[in-house]
A and B are shown apart, each in its own frame.
Chain A
Amino acid sequence: MGYDAMANNASVPAMSRDFGKKKKANRSAKLKQCKLDARREQWLSQVKNKSCLDGSTEASPTATISQPRMSLPRPDQGVLGIRPRNMNPQLEMEHDGLGLRDSGLDSPVQSPTPGRGEGDDKGGPDDWEAIADALSAAGNHTRITPDAEKITEDSMMNGVEDTRLVAGATKPDANQVTRRAWRPDDAARPHCLPNLSKQRSFPVNIERRFAASGWDPRTIISAPSSCPICVEDFDLTDSSFLPCYCGFRICLFCHKKISEEGDGRCPGCRKKYDRVACTEKIVIAAGLPLPFRFSRSCSMNART
């Protein structure tokens, strides 16, 4: 792995020079990445099978929460990043291809992949993660920093407005903007969140689409700050926890209490909590929080 990473790393500059060919090869490369991601997510996420539900759940708690979401362009994109991918790789690819054309300065993660398409880097897709790691660790600073910094500035200044403007716009645009928006994160913290940065490089456009349709965990974070039942402040887990389709949020503690001691109905809509599907629902309905976070929330739920 390490060796591969180095090798790939070395081949990156050459590849990035052939930018024109890159576009062509990009599609197949993306396909491979999709597969890789899917594989990784098999252990990251337990909700893969439920992804088909997304379409249906997508609709409901949208309108009320769309505004605050826009104001926080960044923090949850990684959170979103995982879900959309396992839900529909094809879509992503479509957008990703478009997006690449728009943004000449793409994340380092992507530069090696086209090379594989040209045939000079057979190990490319398999070592994609390694490449990304190596790049974000070492290459990021030397090679990409100027761009990244520019982008950072850019997105810092305009990020909010951009996303707001673009949220409803066409997919390629959205893709471009979001890419800029999160990319500085790669440079800033390559080590602590390697998975995150990788995931982000990919499904941003879908995130954006989700965001446009009102599905974004940011809303969770920005909407209610405390549980309406016990009035305790939401922690990170609670804020990504959406126990009911109606959008009424309560903390995990209260949810458990209501399910076990109470009548097991949502305080907001009085519908029975679906105890079995509850966990999946959380992820789906909450606009796809991180599987990490999600699994943690599960275990917390079990413990309390």
Chain B
Amino acid sequence: MQASRARLFKEYKEVQREKSADPDIQLVCDDSNIFKWTALIKGPSETPYEGGVFQLAFSIPEQYPLLPPQVRFLTKIFHPNVHFKTGEICLDILKNAWSPAWTLQSVCRAIIALMAHPEPDSPLNCDSGNLLRSGDIRGYQSMARMYTRLAAIPKKG
């Protein structure tokens, strides 16, 4: 409990200090609860998610960093490894490959990397996974781009 708090506080300070270091990631801690964070990540370029801003919700267990944070997409996203309805993310480092050396920041980076490199063989979104597995890259990309436009790109005007 105390350890996780201290650790999160350190991460908070780190985030404040290096705000500009990674312009694609904006990590914000809940005002009243250091175990709740949200992050805004930019969709990586040259992917269907480019131009979108995706919101992530972090829920951090008290045993953190021994246990990984629970992360899910709040923004709808069409991605083989993200549950379309719940936003749950299938990512090994958030499950069995977690290491206490990871930070919230590095988790965000990993998620951005996952967006750029989907793993259709362990899909949470079967439609998206099937498109990719059947080789319909174009189909996947247009679906993903459409949802990015619908959900992740702030509307103008």
Q: Chain A: residues with CB nearer than 8 A to chain B?
A: 228-232, 248, 250, 254, 257-258, 261-262, 265, 267-268, 270
Contacts and interface: CB of A to CB of B under 8 A. Distances in A.
Contacts of B80: none
B97 interface: yes
Nearest to B9: A231
Contact of A258 (B6, B7, B66, B97): B66
A228 B3 CA distance: 11
A20 B137 CA distance: 85
Given A248-B101, A267-B99, A267-B100, A229 B65 contact: yes
Given A262-B100, A267-B99, A267-B100, A257 B6 contact: no
A230 B101 contact: no
Q: Interface of chain B, helix or strand or loop or mixed?
A: loop
Interface in B93-122: 97, 99-101
Given A262-B100, A268-B101, A270-B97, A230 B63 contact: no
B28 to A, nearest CB: 20
B10 A254 contact: no
Contacts of A261: 63, 66
Contacts of B97: 270
B99 A230 contact: no
Given A231-B7, A232-B6, 16 more contacts: A228-B101, A229-B3, A229-B7, A230-B3, A232-B3, A250-B100, A254-B100, A258-B100, A261-B63, A262-B100, A265-B99, A267-B99, A267-B100, A268-B99, A268-B101, A270-B97
Contacts of B101: 228-229, 248, 267-268
Contacts of B100: 228-229, 250, 254, 258, 262, 267
Contacts of B65: 229
Contacts of B3: 229-230, 232, 254, 257
Contacts of A231: 6-7, 10
Contacts of A228: 100-101
A82 to B, nearest CB: 31
Contacts of B10: 231
16 contacts: A228-B100, A228-B101, A229-B100, A232-B3, A248-B101, A250-B100, A254-B3, A257-B3, A257-B66, A258-B66, A258-B100, A262-B66, A265-B99, A268-B99, A270-B97, A270-B99
A158 B147 CA distance: 67
Nearest to B102: A267
A257 B67 CA distance: 12
B94 to A, nearest CB: 14
Contacts of B7: 229-231
The 9 closest A-B pairs by CB, nearest first: A267-B101, A231-B10, A267-B100, A267-B99, A230-B3, A262-B66, A229-B100, A231-B7, A231-B6
Interface in B42-77: 63, 65-66
A258 B98 CA distance: 12
Contacts of A267: 99-101
Nearest to A270: B99
Contacts of B6: 230-232
Contacts of A270: 97, 99
Contacts of B63: 261
Contacts of A229: 3, 7, 65, 100-101
A270 B157 CA distance: 49
Interface in B118-144: none
